[in-house]
Structure 1
Amino acid sequence: AGHNRHIEGIELCSGLDSLHAAQVLAHEFMHTWLWMQDFPVLSPWLEEGLCELGSFLYLLELLHDPQTSCLALNAEVLRQRLRAIEVNARPPYGNGFRGCASALRGRGLHDVLQYVRAHGSLPPQ
């Protein structure tokens, strides 16, 4: 606690389609939320994994409840994006996501986040 992190803005690359932009923003908003909730400084693996998990859960919600979004959605494209997160080979992102998704099994997201905030690590399996 007391790490004095702050957010001045979130930048988004131009040229992204609306779904990709929403996916990136979900990831970046998760970083922002973690910092604003005064989580401890997390390892890159854990922080990026949590942010990828947030992005994944957002896309999953769009797939299962598309009327919650103003985006023009294509279920096949959503499935492709979800799969890309699941198989991402970039270590802090893919491995982090898979670790965080595994920690979510049998637990609620709130429980996982509460544990991470208190301990700076994922709950034991």
Structure 2
Amino acid sequence: MVKHNNVVPNGHFKKHWQNYVKTWFNQPARKARRRIARQKKAVRIFPRPTAGPLRPIVHGQTLKYNMKLRAGKGFTLEELKAAGISKKLAPTIGISVDHRRKNRSLEGLQANVQRLKT
């Protein structure tokens, strides 16, 4: 009989239910494997940043978000030119380029050029 205030066991298992059980015994090994993979990737793509390509700082659209700054899709051709980087070279050294973006303010242009130079 069941002791204490526990549920009466009535599990409806299939004959081979153990095959469906997912265990996590490989968790520490997987963690180590991911870490090693990250290090290998960092070595492989060396001159480029490991956290993905460098992106510009842009203002969000609409009245609600236009005071907030966020990461944009890519630098404009004008920003690249001002920083002295060719548009063909930029993606190879980890700088994202967006040829459709326009610079609508001098402050934004200067901020992103400074970001490229540092």
Pair in the same fold by TM > 0.5:
no
- Structure with bigger helix share is 1
- Structure with bigger strand share is 2
- Considering only CA atoms, is the larger Rg found in Structure 1 or Structure 2? 2
What TM-score do you get using the length of structure 2 for normalisation? 0.24
What TM-score do you get using the length of structure 1 for normalisation? 0.23
Larger relative contact order, structure 1 or 2 (CA cutoff 8 Å, min sep 6): 1
